[in-house]
Amino acid sequence: MVSKEEIEHIAKLMRIDLDDHTVHIDRVQKMIEYFDILDKAGTESEELIINEQPLENLREDKYEPYGDKLIDKLKHYKEKFIRAPKMV
Amino acid sequence: MNLGISALDYIEAIKNGEFTVEEFVSETFDQIKKVDGKLHAYLSLNEKALDQAKELDKKRKAKEKIGSCMGMPIAIKDNICVKGTKTTCASKMLEKYVAPFDATVIARLRKQDALFIGKTNLDEFAMGTTTEFSAYGPSKNPWNQEYVPGGSSGGSAVAVSALESVVSLGSDTGGSVRNPASFCSIVGLKPTYGLVSRYGLISYANSIEQIGPMARTVKDAAFLLNVIAGIDPNDNTTVDNHGEDYLKNIEAGIDGKKIGIISEMVGKGTDKEVSSATKKALAKFEDLGAKCEEISIDMVDYSVASYYTITSTEAGSNLARYDNIRYGFDFDLEGYEFNSYISKVRRNFGPEVTRRLIIGGFVPSAGHAGKYFLKALKVKSKLTKEINSAFKKVDFLVAPTVPILPFKFGEKLDDPVAMFLIDFNTVTANLTGKPAISVPFENSNGLPIGIQIIADSMQEKSLFQAAYALESTTNLPKVPL
Residue B130 forms part of a structural domain: yes
Answer yes or no: B77 catalytic: yes
**Closest by CA position to B97, among listed B78, B121, B110:** B78
Residue A73 forms part of a structural domain: no
Q: Which residue of B has its CA nearest to A46?
A: B378
Residue B197 forms part of a structural domain: yes
Q: Which residue of B has its CA nearest to A77?
A: B325
SS3 content of chain B, % helix, strand, coil (to 5): 40, 15, 45
Cβ of A76 and B330 within 8 Å? Answer: yes
- Check residue B36 and give its pLDDT: 98
Would the pTM of this model clear 0.95, i.e. be above it? yes
What is the nearest CA distance from B377 to chain A, expressed in angstroms?
7
Helices B7-15, B21-39: inter-axial angle, 10-degree rounding: 150
Give chain A's domain count: 1
Residue B296 forms part of a structural domain: no
Which residue ranges in chain B fall short of pLDDT 70? 328-330
Distance CA B119, CA B75 (A): 6
Residue B326 forms part of a structural domain: no
Model confidence over B289-299: pLDDT tens digits?
A: 999 999 999 99
Residue A57 forms part of a structural domain: no
- Check residue B329 and give its pLDDT: 65
Contacts of B315 in chain A (CB under 8 A): none
DSSP SS3 for B379: helix
Residue A27 forms part of a structural domain: yes
**Closest by CA position to B377, among listed B387, B364, B360:** B364
Cβ of B359 and A68 within 8 Å? Answer: no
Contacts of A47 in chain B (CB under 8 A): 381
Alpha helices (runs of H) in B347-421, residue ranges in sequence order: 351-362, 373-393, 416-421
Q: Which domain covers residue B151, as residue numbers?
A: 7-252+402-472
Q: Which domain covers residue A22, as residue numbers?
A: 1-41
For A45, list phi and psi in degrees, rounded to 5.
-85, 0
CATH code (residue B80): 3.90.1300.10
Residue A15 forms part of a structural domain: yes
| B246 DSSP 8-state letter | S
Among A27, A43, A46, the residue with its CB nearest the CB of B355 is A27
Residue A36 forms part of a structural domain: yes
Distance CA B412, CA B128 (A): 11
DSSP SS3 for B347: coil
Give chain B's domain count: 1
* Interface residue of B87, B378, B381 to substitute, partner A, most A CBs within 10 Å: B378
Residue B364 forms part of a structural domain: no
A48 touches chain B (CB under 8 A): yes
Residue B390 forms part of a structural domain: no
- Check residue B52 and give its pLDDT: 98
For B408, list phi and psi in degrees, rounded to 5.
-80, 160
Model confidence over B198-241: pLDDT tens digits?
A: 999 999 999 999 999 999 999 999 999 999 999 999 999 999 99
**Closest by CA position to B66, among listed B78, B79, B52:** B52
CATH code (residue A6): 1.10.20
Contacts of A4 in chain B (CB under 8 A): none
Distance CA B21, CA B43 (A): 23
Options B91, B176, B182, B457, the catalytic residue: B176
Residue B132 forms part of a structural domain: yes
Q: How far is CA B417 from CA A23, B267, B336, B414, in A?
A: 15, 18, 38, 9
Answer yes or no: B176 catalytic: yes
**Closest by CA position to B88, among listed B155, B29, B167, B173:** B155
Alpha helices (runs of H) in B241-371, residue ranges in sequence order: 272-287, 300-318, 338-346, 351-362
Distance CA B149, CA B184 (A): 6
Contacts of A37 in chain B (CB under 8 A): 301-302, 305
Q: How far from each other are the two terminal CA atoms of chain B, in whole angstroms? A: 16
Q: Which residue of A has its CA nearest to B355?
A: A28
- pLDDT band for A88, please (50, 70, 90 cuts): low
Answer yes or no: B161 catalytic: no
**Closest by CA position to B355, among listed A3, A38, A22, A1:** A22
What is the nearest CA distance from A80 to chain B, expressed in angstroms?
14
Options B91, B134, B152, B182, the catalytic residue: B152
Residue B454 forms part of a structural domain: yes
Residue A59 forms part of a structural domain: no
